Amino acid sequence: MLHLGSGCSAAAIQGGVSVDTSMGFTPLEGLVMGTRSGDLDPALPGFLARAEGVDVAEVETWLNQRSGLLGLAGGSGDVRDLLAREADDPLTRLALDVFCHRARKYLGCPGQKLHPPP
């Protein structure tokens, strides 16, 4: 089961009972979302903090509010907006491809194309 919106999550349901979920300790874990990164390498926040000369709190703000579809495509994290401009914008197309790849990964079918080219 997928919940896809500005926030996104996946759940494995068996016999009407959730047996696993993409959600973790914070909303960052799991699928790429409108402004949240989703799963990432655990060393990335420390790397970014050192590379950019900021504290971890600033990196957390980036990952929660300026990443995901918004960070990949720029301008908007709303899938409706991105679908309207994907044919003319390679970064928007990349953002949608990443979004779909991550959803397929959680569904257990990472090689299948669920988002056809425009």
pTM of the full structure: 0.87
Q: What is the pLDDT of residue 6?
A: 86
User: Which residues are within 8 A (CB) of 46 and not within 5 positions of it... i.e. 6 or more apart?
Assistant: 56
Q: What is the pLDDT of residues 55-88, one digit of tens each?
A: 999 999 999 999 999 999 998 999 999 999 999 9
Query: Do the domain assignments include residue 117?
Result: no
CATH number of 81's domain? 3.30.420.40
Name the pLDDT band for 115 (thresholds 50, 70, 90). Answer: low
Rounded Cα distance between 31 and 21, Å, is 11
Q: Which of 31, 5, 19, 24 is nearest to 105 (CA)?
A: 31
Residue 113 is assigned to a structural domain of this protein? no
Number of structural domains the chain divides into? 1
pLDDT > 90: percent of the chain = 84
> Is the pLDDT assigned to residue 116 strictly greater than 70?
no
The amino acid at 115: H
